[in-house]
Amino acid sequence: MALFLLFWGCPAPAPVDSPAATVYVDARKAASGGTIELHATAGSTVEGNTGLIVSGVSEGQWGLSGADGSYIVSVSPPAGDAVRLFVDIGVDGPTGGPMDELRQLPPPPPPLWPWVLGAVVAVGALAIGAVWAWKRFKPVPPPPAPLAAHLVAHRAWVALRARNDLPPDQVAGQMSDIFRSWLEADLHFPAPQRTRREILDVLAGYVTATELDAGRRLLSATDLVKFAERSEHADLFDRLDHDFYAIVRPVRRA
């Protein structure tokens, strides 16, 4: 399986309704003479260092092959920063190939604590006294009011959609779990322990037919991802975003 390291840089977090482009390989290492499949946003430019053969397979998919060694691949999506990753063909790690000259970083310089020990002791004593006085005399604020159930669900959803380290089926499963947890908190109904049919029967008494369809898709997210083509996953998650925000809000009580 292909050993790789992703260097994403530090872009601003992508909006919920437009997740960041995903770049990944299907294997961590390939045997000698093997091929590694690279997946990236359609329209991306893929370049490798000397010796690596990059061939297009289909829209958003490339094949990486070449002589035994370790290689650096640069993927430039249509929008956003370029991504660099390492792949290994027929070797274990960065040896025997174009990365053979990599060396460990030099050791850090010797510590400066002998020069500042006295100052640290004095500052530490003052800091301890200041912290004690702050804790002793600071007013204790009242506990914050708990967030509404739909706001808790929104935060969990945003955090999930910002992740790029989960496969599509796990993302879909967690989407359904967030939706079920919101139903339990807002309707006081044990949705995580009930079947999809039971949940929809209860939800039908609080929402419109359109919102009920959105809830059905959220509860079926894992199945939708399972039977969708890989190239359709991003669009599917965008549609589930729309369904989530259309229904996860203060429910109109009957």
Find the domain containing 70 and state its range. Answer: 1-102
67: Cβ contacts below 8 Å, ≥ 6 apart: 51, 89, 90, 97
> Is residue 5 located within the same domain as residue 88?
yes
Task: Give me 205's structure tokens.
Answer: 């008494």
Q: Which amino acid is at 69?
A: G
Neighbours of 83 (CB within 10 A): 22
Question: How far apart, in Å, are the Cα atoms of 146 and each of 151, 185, 244?
Answer: 10, 12, 21
In a domain, 114, yes or no: no
Is residue 30 assigned to a domain? Answer: yes
What tokens appear for 193 in the block? 């322990």
Residues in the chain: 254
75 burial level (CB within 10 Å; 0-12, 13-18, 19+): buried
Q: Do 174 and 88 fall within a single domain?
A: no
Domain count, the chain: 2
Query: Which of 21, 28, 7 has its CA nearest to residue 234?
Result: 21
In this structure, are residues 149 and 186 in contact, taking their beta carbons and an 8 Å threshold?
Answer: yes
96 and 156 in one domain? no
pTM > 0.95: yes or no = no
Segment 7-12 mean pLDDT: 36
With a cut of 80, say whether residue 7 has pLDDT above it. no
For the four alpha carbons of 171, 175, 176 and 181, in that order, the dihedral sign comes to positive
Smallest CA-to-CA distance from 159 within 182, 181, 175 is with 175
pLDDT given for residue 178 in this prediction: 92
Query: Is residue 135 assigned to a domain?
Result: no
Least confident of 33-37, 101-105, 207-211: 101-105
Name the burial class of residue 245, with classes exposed (0-12), middle (13-18) and buried (19+) by CB atoms within 10 angstroms of its CB.
Answer: middle
Per-residue pLDDT, 108: 63
Phi-psi region of 236 (alpha: psi -120 to 50; beta: other; left: phi over 0): alpha
Q: Is residue 128 part of a domain?
A: no
Mean pLDDT of 184-201: 88
Residue owning tokens 């960041």: 20
Q: What is the mean pLDDT of the chain?
A: 79
Sheet of strand 24-25: strand arrangement:
24-25, 36-39, 61-66, 52-58
Output the pLDDT for position 146. Answer: 83
**What is the rounded CA–CA span in Å between residue 95 and residue 155?**
44
- 177 has pLDDT over 90: yes
Strand, helix or coil for residue 247? helix
Q: Is residue 136 part of a domain?
A: no
Say what the pLDDT of residue 37 is.
92
